[in-house]
Amino acid sequence: MKKITRLSILALLVLGTGNCSKDFLVEEPVAVIAPDNLYVNKQGFESGLYGLYNLWREERKGINGASNDMAITAAVVGVDNAYSLRPAGGAPEQVFNDFGVRLNPADAYVRRLWEWLYRTVNAANTIIDRSENASIIWSETEKKQIVGEAKLLRAWAYRHLTYLYGAVPLSLQESKGSTIRSDWDRTSVAEIRKAMEKDLLDAEAGMADLPVAEGRAAKVVAQHYLAELYLVMGDNQKAKDKAQAVVSNPNYGLITARYGVNVAQPGTPYTDMFLDKNSNRSQGNREALWVIQNEYLSLGGDANIMRRWWVNRYNEIRVGSPAKTPINFSLENGGRGIARFAVTKYAFSVYEPNDHRGSSFAWRLFYLMNNPASLPTNANMNTVATCAAPGYRTGVGGGKIGDTIRLSVNCGEPAPNGSTASNWPSIRKWDWAPADPADVQNSSNFNDQPYLRLAETYLLLAEAQFRLGDLTAAAATLNTVRTRSNASVILPAQVTLAFILDERSRELVTEEHRRYTLLRTGTWFDRTKQYNLYAGTKIALRDTILPIPQSVIDANLTKPMEQNPGY
């Protein structure tokens, strides 16, 4: 995939917030890529499409280029199964621990999130609108493929916008200097979802069954999002049909056997999918529906900060008396983590003992000492993990390289920035893949990563079957996912919405946009209050959607724009 970043075609949908001088409007650039000289042939459209995909990949990077604010924070913490363990002062992750006055229309993250998503909308609009130029030489199949992908990504952006902000302006045409507006209306969520449905149906009809290149989406991605869309729209039969179309596609299948780079080492089929060099179809991953390309120096590759955000600061684990720090950052331990995000105790509590998804192959439940300069010497240390300290017992003469330090979840999640925060286990899905293996402190990850997996489509199918009253079929679908990871077989009578949400957490924790799942099922407020010890004590019903950025409201000069209730 070609890497095209920050092209001028990726202009923000400016809701009246931009100012253009007359000189700017009449400038005629000679050597600058612009829509008028880019979208003149198939190659130009593909270049623009790769720029659009680069915006999609920003989801797992810093928001709008900021290295320390994960773009998708609002969708993954402040929910039942995740919170911020190490929030930086005033950063987005702290907003979604504290809510209240921190979540407000002037918040910079709330504004940047809006801007990023509308840049994506406008980049997609530009491709879609300019594809109607009759002078372009391409086949109808080529046109439908490119336009289908652009429509998919436009629907993807409005999926985020509607779950995050509710009713927002619906723009389906390219935003140009000559079309800047200051009189936008907020379009109802129902109307936006009808536009999303049309985009996704067009994408389904126009896109190939398999990706035309790694990192690009195929028809099954449109079908997957249609299934989810129909669930939130209440059309459960259509949701079932679209999900069934994906799981029945012979080109895709759950990973049920070991494969890939570590096949000769201990592991599980489930965790193999998240290993570096195991993510793409060409590497054996038939479960992946959509894969973000992040491999270092690869065509289309780009960095992400998933590892840094989800891996704990294990180098601060202290054992013994006097306290020692016997673990250094290392490639084997996942690289440098800062633990801005962590899972709640609830997220650990839903696994059966033999479920691979809760095993030490999926989670860092222990570490091996690797710091010879700080080995413990006290022989009377804990033999098991406790609330106050990780579990460790020295041998004669004190600790040694390779000794095990065990962590515990029995006492519940640590307080944000608390003294025991480093003792909390963390996920291994986003293990470090460095640009330079010797540079363990590097902030970025460079491995390709699964974005959508077939297992999630199975879970959408099970939910549709449940809502249609077919508990037998729903149990069979859930068991297809569960047995892959050695979880027990369930009976139809055990299928409830709560069970499905628990199963989604077991399978998709840190992958799915958990906030959207809970909002779609009407459970975000109650489940966050029940399972999130920090955000759950502070959320209010107004927090089910974010405020419209104040800068957007102020820029809509010729027509008042209503703020969301409570802000």
pLDDT at 18: 37
Element (H, E) at 222: helix 219-233
Q: N- to C-terminal Cα distance for the chain?
A: 42
Cis peptide before 547, with omega less than 30 degrees from 0? no
At residue 32, the 3 state secondary structure works out as coil
At residue 367, the 3 state secondary structure works out as strand
Q: Which residues contact 420 (CB under 8 A, 6 or more apart)?
A: 387, 388, 389, 414
Local structure of residue 112 (DSSP, 8 states): H
Strand pairing of 449-453 and 288-292?
antiparallel
Q: Which residues contact 113 (CB under 8 A, 6 or more apart)?
A: 63, 71, 74, 164, 546
Consecutive 10-residue averages of pLDDT for the chain (567 residues): 34 38 43 80 94 94 83 98 94 96 97 97 97 95 98 98 98 87 96 98 97 95 98 98 98 98 97 96 97 81 88 92 90 91 97 97 95 82 69 72 90 91 95 79 87 98 98 98 98 98 98 98 98 97 98 96 97
Q: State the DSSP string of 521-538.
A: TT-HHHHHHHH-TTGGGT
pLDDT at 37: 85
At residue 101, the 3 state secondary structure works out as helix
Q: Mark out the alpha helices in 273-310 (DSSP H runs).
A: 306-310
Quick one: the chain helix, strand, coil %, rounded to 5? 45, 5, 50
Residue 30 in contact with residue 101, Cβ under 8 Å? no
Q: What are phi and psi of 391, to 5 degrees?
A: -85, 130
pLDDT at 34: 79
Please work out, in degrees rounded to the nearest 5, the angle formed at the alpha carbon of residue 296 by the alpha carbons of 295 and 298. 70
Q: Crossing angle, helix 219-233 and helix 454-467, to 10 degrees?
A: 30
Separation of alpha carbons 507 and 504, rounded Å: 5
- pTM for the whole structure: 0.93
* Alpha-carbon separation of residue 22 from 19, 118, 180, 182, 384 (angstroms): 10, 25, 14, 18, 71
Buried b (16+ CB within 10 A) or exposed e, 454-491: bbbbbbbbbbbbbbeebbebbbbbbbbbbebbbbeebe
